[in-house]
Structure 1
Amino acid sequence: MAGLPTRLMSASTSSLHTAFRGLSLNTTIKRTFSTSLAVQKVKTIPEHIPPYPYEPNRVYKQADSGLYGGVSISFGNKISKGRNKGKTRRSWKPNVRWKKMPSEALGEDVFVKLTRKALRTIRKVGGLDNYLLCDKPSRLKELGLAGWKLRYRIMQSPAMKKKFAEERQKLGIAKAPTTFEEWLKAKQLTEATSVIDAVEDAREAAEILEETPINEESLPEPEVLKGEKKEQAPVLA
């Protein structure tokens, strides 16, 4: 009986230890939210495709998934027809649809996501290939990442390679550039040479005009306008 209190004390201490085992003396409160910015997924282009000359669309990211033609979401006011004519903020989303567009270079129909504006432009220029292969900066900016990938796919088709080879043969170019940077340098060089030739032609024409004397007798007489009387020289007596 003498060892009974000690056994009770040991049992009580063990039960208290198990009861307060999950508690901690650390009073710091863990936050249930994060203050760091969320990692945003940015669409990229594969390495075998030349880099896109413009940045991805940061405002309306959905435009990089198809041919939107530069259209994005717009905002405005909805004016009520009542007596007060109150205004309510609203937004207008672009008219987007999936459509099969025939491609002569690929020889098949391409299932493309596009807007009504891009569809009108494609019909106006004469097809999907002409729309994608245009070299204007405004058109390249409208394509986006999806249009840039489709443009490269069309340019690598056998039909377009044959067409480019015929054009190079007409222009006297020996071989095709291997990279996009070489093609860009060749294009800038041809533009610079054309400008230099135009300046030289204008200079030669100016030199020819300076060398040729002007005969005043061969110049035509100025025409007399209607209603004006031709002055006569005074007759000396």
Structure 2
Amino acid sequence: MQARLTMATPFSLSAAFRSLSIATPKRAFSTTLATQSNKTLPEHIPAYPHGPRQWYKQADTGLYGGAMIRFGNKISDGRNEGKTRRSWKPNVRRKKLWSDALGEHLFIKVTRRALRTIQKEGGLDKYLISDRPARIRELGVFGWELRWKVMQSPAMQEKFQKQRQQLGLPDHPSFEEWMKGKEDEVEARIQERLSIKSITKPRAKGLGDPQRLAMLAGSDPRNNASENVQPEESTGGPMEDYETQPQEERADSISR
């Protein structure tokens, strides 16, 4: 009996508290919403004027042409007559499109409607560089980034240079030249504001302050305007005639 009690006792203190735990038990669910990250552009790319999509955010991962999920009713006239809610999702495909400016195939997500527009425009590059407001809106963040890459390619820059020469326009300055011109302009404005030579320039010898000399001579130039003003002629109204009468005549007129 004593041997059985000896075998039942724990061999160490850790073994005795092995079943206990001081850690907080994990919950099988979480009340925190899943983080939704919007697609952001790199810092060297201009900001997209319309911003990321607020609804159907997966449209910022391809050329969706402004398509979204549509909701409506399914009308049945048969045995189950009535309306049933349903939705229509965009027809998205993964296509390999050729870019002349980049010189490579691009494997992107594109809707059937956007693909038809690309074919009508004559290629992916012409679809992207169109400057119509409706086209800029339907490009989205993904299309805007792809448009910037196409316009910055050497082939497209050479095409733009030829168009400037045909139109007789000056060459587009580089970023360094533009920055240097702006810095020179700002420096010139600062020097113009700090220059006080014209204000502090000394008068020639023998010449005093013209305003002070005029006051000493008895003709203050500030009073010239008031001196040149002549009094208006009286119109001879009844009130003015009454005021110019002597006091005795005023009393007689009042008594009458």
- Settle same-fold status: TM greater than 0.5: yes
Structure 1 distance, partners of 2:117, 2:83, is 34
Aligned partners of 1:134, 1:110: CA distance in 2, in Å?
19
Distance in structure 1 (CA, Å) of the matches to 2:168 and 2:135: 25
Q: What corresponds to 2:175 in structure 1?
A: 178
Q: Deviations over 1:183-237 (max 9, x none)?
A: xxxxxxxxxxxxxxxxxxxxxxxxxxxxxxxxxxxxxxxxxxxxxxxxxxxxxxx
Judging changes above 3 Å, is the alpha-carbon distance between structure 1 residues 160 and 32 closer, same or farther for their aligned structure 2 residues?
A: same
Tell me: CA distance 1:94–1:30, structure 2 relative to 1, closer, same or farther (3 Å).
closer
| 1:81 partner amino acid | D
Structure 1 gaps of 5+ residues are: 1-13, 183-237
| Structure 2 portions without partners, runs of 5+ | 1-9, 180-256
The equivalences for 1:217-232 within 5 A come to none
- Whichever residue aligns with residue 123 of structure 2, its letter is G
| Aligned AA (1:173) | P
* CA distance 1:33–1:111, change in 2 (3 Å): closer
CA distances 1:144-186 after superposition (whole Å, capped 9, x unpaired): 122112111111211101011222332423324639xx9xxxx
The equivalent of 1:68 in structure 2 is 64
Bigger Rg, structure 1 or 2: 2
Question: In the alignment, which residue of structure 1 is the partner of 2:129?
Answer: 133
2:139 paired with 1:143: yes
1:38 Cα shift? Answer: 2.9
How many pairs align? 176
For 1:168, what is the secondary structure of its paired residue? helix
Deviations 1:110-146 (A, max 9, x none): 2221011101111222211111001122211111122
1:116 to 112, 122, 126: 112
For 1:161, which of 157, 160, 171 is the aligned residue?
Answer: 157
How far apart in 2 are the matches of 1:33 and 1:83?
43
Determine which of 40, 45, 64 is the counterpart of 1:44. Answer: 40
Choose from 57, 67, 80 the match for 2:76.
80
What corresponds to 1:59 in structure 2? 55
1:18/1:115 Cα in 2 relative to 1: closer, same or farther (>3 Å)? closer
CA RMSD of aligned residues (A): 3.5
SS of 1:37 mapped into structure 2? coil
2: CA distance between counterparts of 1:67 and 1:30?
42
- In structure 2, the partner of 1:93 is 89
| Alignment-derived partner of residue 239 in structure 2 | none
CA distance in 1, matches of 2:98, 2:34: 40
Quick one: percent identity of the two aligned structures? 58
2:48 counterpart SS class: coil
Rounded Cα–Cα distance in structure 2 between residues aligned with 1:133 and 1:50: 15
2:51–2:141 contact (8 Å) kept in structure 1: no
**Within 2, Cα distance between the matches of 1:171 and 1:52?**
31
Query: What is the TM-score of this pair, normalised by structure 1?
Result: 0.60
Query: Do the aligned partners of 2:161 and 2:171 also contact (CA within 8 Å) in 1?
Result: no
Cα distance in 1 between the residues matched to 2:134 and 2:93 = 22
* Whole-Å separation in 2 of the counterparts to 1:105 and 1:30: 54
